[in-house]
Structure 1
Amino acid sequence: MKYLLVLAVVLVAFWVWRNNRLTDDTDAQRPSARKKPAPRQPTIMVACLHCGTHLPQNEAVQGRQGAYCSAEHRQLSEGAKP
């Protein structure tokens, strides 16, 4: 009786292992399961006209002559008073 129980446990373990392995293989074959996300667009970088620091264009402070890294550098370069 003891050997019959051990054999049943081994068979159930083998069946579970085999079913999990087959399920993993079918997931790998599905094209929708392994789709890569769309690549992100590169960020446009600009250089500050006063100090030359590069920063993303959407974070730059725009002045009459171009882009600056801060309002202070824009004022210093363009000669504007605060």
Structure 2
Amino acid sequence: MRTRGSGSGLHVKGRKRRAKVVWLGKKGGNGIERKLRELQRSVPGSQGIMEVKTLYQTIENYIILLEAKVTILRSLSTLYGV
């Protein structure tokens, strides 16, 4: 869905809990900085991290943790026949 507002940019909403994309032009600051802030909000425990390298390591660890959880849940699902 694409909506038009007062010309301030593009606003797209997804279904349920999917990500929404907001383009604010120059108001939102540097695009990379804005994306890094979004990553910090998405990954638990990374809000206070200032260095990019440390942030990337934290994100990598979080992704590995999520993958391990998925593997465990799949194994349990297969074991119990769900």
Alignment TM class, shorter chain as reference: 0.3 to 0.5
The TM-score normalised by the length of structure 1 is: 0.35
Structure showing greater relative contact order (alpha-carbon pairs closer than 8 Å, 6 or more residues apart): 1
